[in-house]
Amino acid sequence: MVEINTIKNKLKRDELFLKQKTAKAKAKRDRRTALKNEEASNPEKKEKRLAENVPNTLENTREFDETMVEEDEEVAADEATDEFAQYFQNGMTPKILITTSKGPSASVYEFATELVDIFPNSHFVKRRPQFEMRHIVEFSKNRDFTDVMIINEDKKEPNALTLIHLPDGPTAHFKLSSIALSKEIEGHGRTSSHKPELILNNFNTRLGHTIGRMFTALFPHVPEFQGRQVATLHNQRDFIFFRRHRYMFKNAKRVNLQELGPRFTLKLKWLQKGTFDRKGEHEWMFKPEMETSRRKFFL
Amino acid sequence: MSSRRFYTADEQGLIKVVTVTELPPVKAKRYNRTRDTPESPKKPEATIETWGTPDRERAIQLMCWDNQKKHLVVARKNGSVQLIDPKDGSVTLEFKQTLVKVEKIETAFVGLFANSESIITCTNTGVVSIHSIKDASATPTTFNVGKDICRMRVHPRDHHIIATGGKEQELTIWDLNALTSEVSKEDAKKPRTGKSAKGKSPSSITPQNNSKDSSSSNGSARYKSKEILDKGQIFKAKNVKNDNLDLRVPVWNVDFQFLSTYDHTRIAVGTRNHQIRVYDTKTARRPAVDAEVGTMPVIALATGKDASEIVFSDTVTNVYSVDTLTGSIIGQYKGFTGVTTALATFLPFEDSDATHLVTVSMDRFMRIHEMDKTRKLLHKVYLKQRLTAVVVGEFTPYEGSNEDDEEDGADRVKRGNNNGGDDGMNDDDIWNSMGKLGPKSKKRKVSKE
């Protein structure tokens, strides 16, 4: 077989190349028709082929992580007595205080309004500049709040969210991005005051478990199903996507989803033991040097 | 393969015995280029053995060896102090110390030490107590060293020398012998009063070098101390001079280490205000070296291979090496994702030049780093709990060195044979590869075909 690209005559080379191309295409076509015919008679084979044909993605080629939580007595015992045990074991109802950084701008208030709408039993409190975070934590503890949420802003846009679980921490700090308020979402529905259901996806490592439990502890235990509202926190490649929907039953089989909004994306920057302290001990902290591979994830 | 054991302690009160196996050092070999280089043998995984049942109330706050490395000493959150057999984890001795909540702050152990006679503990309320091991029922000798103590350490050789320091508590070195004798005198005078009038038989910690050491350490200070030291104090540090605004520099000693095992003159201190200080108790009450390192509080401190280097960790998950002569940062250890709560250095095998660093952190990992210039991460073991303490255990040397030699020899013979047998093949390969190189020859080949 002559290698076509070594032929010096352009006409000859073109001719041969075209021939080769059509031959290849025909072979492919033949192969696919043969497969189609075969699978038409034998549908199981098609199913098998489709099941096996899984493309490689960053998620399914994820680097091995030893902190993945599977059925593990020790981790279960750890989680049974951790800071969220009050919520999970004793069925404590969450009560959330939402506030902002000092001197907030209009967009932060808008976002805070949306957050108040999302979390049942949450209260917005205007931030007074004379109160530091540690004061707010103390006040909230005295008033039986279970969580404090603080929206930070940069260039008049919300850019970070700090979540403090009370009374003993932990504190998580997220980068906040891709915010779409309800009114910006086309065809969005109106929210009702029902307690929503909660869907948490892919919080699989030990750190992810902690973060997942932290989010779970923001919502009341038993949702009100007649509201048909679902809040979703979906983790993909360490980005946590928040979406809220209502499902609408068309008939006994079909269900439609209507988005309620808002949408926003969180990315964990650090997790601190205890309530917020600038000099506190960080249980986990993101550093750029940890990004050794595109296939390494922490949540 | 040689192996080393590590004992780690965590918030759930578990002790984990981690056995890290090291492969025998492989000499760099030259491999034939035409063949694939053999993959380096896989690191054997660390074996983990767990002692105890998870219980947050029995969280381990401190753990150390007794001075002869026969028992592990463990101080728990609920106030119990245990001697644990390092072979099977059974408790040989246990006594309980009541830790009361004082003004919303829970009392915690900040210092722990044991020798063959007694166990010394210290709490953050400043209560140092000496428990006798032999006479476990005897009430411990206690005395107060001031409130808000962050750390108490005992000199590794002179067990009657202890150092304390904390929040607004300057570094102070105490002589336990003087203190205990004072207590006993008080006892003799007024047996029913006084907070610490309990020491019936104050066990002298190291009677053989008691008098000599205390006298030498008392007399050896060259500076004139204006402040008269309290009873039992050998040295009390003085705060550094005011800053450029003539404001007082706050004191908050977090952790410190005796730099030498032979004398107790040089002490390295890490502070909450991210300073590393080295005190020389013979020359001055102010630190000989005072350097700012980083921007975040120091959490823990460990001595390096000699007195010239110390390693410390801070609250934003960094671990640095610091030169104790200049106070400058020599290098950083990488790979941490959580705060390192305890560090220890050790020699990887006997008579080795290299030193290794073992750390445990809140991200639930135990890590071992090299301490030479590369500061490479050697091992990383996931231990499922937020870890609080680490102790370096026994070293099991490489067993059956003869066998290995034989294997090595066999290998060598094999390789020799292979080379001999493959010679012809190799030649062919060489010729083939040479034929393809020149562009001219390529052209000729094509035309021929």
Q: What is the pLDDT of residue B422?
A: 45
Q: Note the pLDDT of residue B97.
A: 83
* Boundaries of domain holding A199: 91-290
3-state class (DSSP) for residue B143: strand
Element (H, E) at A175: strand A171-180
CA dihedral B419, B422, B425, B429 (to 10 degrees): -30
Interval A64-107: pLDDT, tens = 888 888 888 888 888 888 899 989 988 889 999 999 999 999 99
Which contiguous run of DSSP H or E holds residue B433?
A: helix B401-437
Of the candidate ranges A237-241, B9-13, B45-49, the one whose mean pLDDT is the lowest: B45-49
Given this model, what pLDDT does residue B26 score?
62
Contact residues, chain B, for A72 at CB < 8 Å: 384
Chain B nearest C-alpha distance from A207 (Å)? 8
Q: In sequence order, what are the residues at sequence separation of 6 or more whose Cβ sits closer than 8 angstroms to the Cβ of residue B445?
A: none
Query: Considering only CB atoms, which chain B residues are within 8 Å of A81?
Result: 12, 54, 56
- Chain B residues 39-78 within an 8 A CB cutoff of chain A: 50, 54, 56
Tens digit of each residue's pLDDT (9 = 90 or more) over B198-241: 333 334 444 444 444 444 444 456 666 556 777 788 899 999 99
For B19-35, the pLDDT digits (tens) are 988 776 666 666 666 66
Q: Is the pLDDT of residue A1 over 90?
A: no
User: Does residue B228 sit within a domain?
Assistant: yes
Residue B180 within a domain: yes
Q: How confident is the model at residue B67 (pLDDT cuts 50, 70, 90)?
A: confident
* pLDDT of B196 over the 70 cut: no
pLDDT of residue A130: 92
Q: What is the DSSP letter of B229?
A: P
Say if B173 falls within a structural domain: yes
Strands (E) in B66-137, as ranges, are: 72-76, 80-84, 91-96, 109-114, 118-123, 127-132
Instruction: State the pLDDT at residue B362.
Output: 92
Angle between helix A73-80 and helix A206-216 axes, rounded to 10 deg: 30
Could you tell me the pLDDT band of residue B41, with boundaries at 50, 70 and 90?
A: low
pLDDT at B135: 77
- Which residues numbered 121-150 in B keep a CB inside 8 Å of some CB on A? none
pLDDT beyond 60 at B133: yes
Mean pLDDT of B100-108: 80
Between B259 and B421, the more confident residue is: B259
Q: Say whether pLDDT at B412 is over 60.
A: no
Give a yes or no: residue A82 inside a domain: no
**Which of B263, B357, B347 is CA-nearest to residue B301?**
B357
- Of B263 and B113, the structure prediction assigns the larger pLDDT to B113
B187: three-class secondary structure by DSSP: helix
The answer on pLDDT for B407 being more than 70 is: no
pLDDT score, position B415: 42
Look at residue B440 and tell me whether its pLDDT is greater than 70.
Answer: no
Domain holding B152: CATH number?
Answer: 2.40.10.480
What's the pLDDT score for residue B233? 87
Cα-flanking dihedrals φ and ψ of residue B427, to 5°?
A: -60, -45
pLDDT above 80 for B408: no
CATH number of A198's domain: 3.40.50.10480
Q: Residues A168-187: what's their mean pLDDT?
A: 93
Cα(B315)–Cα(A280) distance, integer angstroms: 6
pLDDT tens-place string over residues B144-163: 888 889 999 999 888 889 99
| pLDDT per residue as tens digits for the range A106-118 | 999 999 999 999 9
Strands A122-124 and A96-100: parallel
Supply the pLDDT for residue B35.
65
Distance from CA of B448 to the nearest CA of A (A): 11
Q: Is A236 exposed, middle or buried (0-12, 13-18, 19+ CB in 10 A)?
A: middle
Nearest to B164 by CA among B96, B92, B256: B256
**Between chains, do A67 and B297 touch, taking CB under 8 Å as contact?**
no
Structurally, chain B folds into a number of domains equal to: 1
* Separation between Cα atoms, residue B359 and residue B361, nearest integer Å: 7
Nearest-angstrom CA–CA distance, B372 and B331: 10
In this prediction the ipTM stands at 0.86
Q: Which of B121, B126, B149 lies closest to B64 in space, CA to CA?
A: B121
Count A/B contacts: CB-CB distance under 8 Å: 64
Name, in order, each residue with C-beta under 8 angstroms of B226's C-beta and a sequence gap of 6 or more.
none
- Which pLDDT score, from 0 to 100, does residue B205 have? 46
The A-side interface with B (CB below 8 A) comprises 2-3, 6, 66-67, 72, 74-75, 77-78, 81, 206-207, 273, 279-285, 287, 289-290, 298
DSSP string, A251-282: SSS-EEEEE---EEEEEEEEEESSS--TTPPE
Q: What is the pLDDT of residue B193?
A: 38
- What is the pLDDT at residue B419? 43
Cα distance between residue B238 and residue B267, in whole Å: 14
> Into how many domains does chain A fold?
1
Q: Which residues contact A31 (CB under 8 A, 6 or more apart)?
A: none
- B443 has pLDDT over 70: no
Residue B158 included in any domain:
yes
Q: Residue B75: what pLDDT?
A: 92
A170 within some domain: yes
The pair of three-digit structure tokens given for residue B40, joined into one six-digit string: 């380096």
Quote the pLDDT of residue B436: 58
Decide if pLDDT at B117 tops 50.
yes
Whether residue B401 is predicted with pLDDT greater than 70 in this model: the reply is no
Nearest CA in chain B to A285: B337
**Residues B261, B158: contact at Cβ < 8 Å?**
no
Q: Please give the Cα distance from A84 to A45 (Å, whole number).
A: 48
Q: Say whether A289 and B334 touch across the interface (CB within 8 A).
A: yes
Cβ-Cβ contacts under 8 Å for B133 (sequence gap 6 or more): B83, B93, B114, B116, B117, B118, B119
Q: What is the dihedral of CA B361, B362, B363, B366, to 10 degrees?
A: 30
Of A72, A280, A284, the CB nearest to B338: A284
Mean pLDDT of chain A: 92
Q: Is the pLDDT of residue B245 over 90?
A: yes
Mean confidence (pLDDT) of chain B? 79
CB spacing of B317 vs A285 below 8 angstroms: yes
Selected residues 334-393 of chain B with any CB under 8 Å from a CB in chain A: 334, 337-339, 341, 362-364, 382, 384-386
